[in-house]
Amino acid sequence: MTPQQIALVEASFAKVAPIAATAADLFYARLFETAPDLRPMFPDDLSEQKNKLMAMLGTVVAGLRRLDTLLPAVQALGRRHAAYGVSAEQYAPVGGALLWTLEQGLGAAFTTEVKQAWTAAYTVLSQTMIEADRVSLKAA
């Protein structure tokens, strides 16, 4: 990610943060509409899940400028996801629902540059999570 992209992700996340609860509602509604097969993987009551997701996104966004110190936490998150039964392919619909949610929340502020910046951020994040199992031996 370029420094400019990091700044765009930070600025746009700051706009969504005040409506985090609504954004989380929109995100899961969209995710299960576009990928209904993922619904059984989650608990019936999503309220805890919604808080955790938004908190984790906040942590990640806040850490983009020092990605190297953030990576161990993202790798650990990836290993937990592998244990939840999440496969590499399932990261795509989640990324799609995330971008869609940002578009709803930001409206006209969701410019092409902002979209590209978030796509770059989600790619780094999801690739790190997906590869965490594979590199865990090497990193240990």
In the complex, the residues that contact ligand HEM under the rule CB under 6 A are 38, 41-43, 49, 52-53, 56-57, 77, 80-81, 84, 86, 90-91, 94, 125-126
CB of 11 to ligand HEM, least distance (A): 19
Nearer to ligand HEM by C-beta: 12 or 126? 126
CB of 108 to ligand HEM, least distance (A): 26
Residues whose CB falls within 8 Å of the CB of residue 58, separated by 6 or more in sequence, listed in order: 13, 17
Nearer to ligand HEM by C-beta: 23 or 125? 125
Helix (H) or strand (E) holding 28: helix 20-34
Return d(Cα 65, Cα 128) in angstroms, integer: 16
Q: Furthest-apart CA pair in the chain: how many Å?
A: 45
Q: By three-state DSSP, how is residue 93 classified? A: helix
CB of 16 to ligand HEM, least distance (A): 14
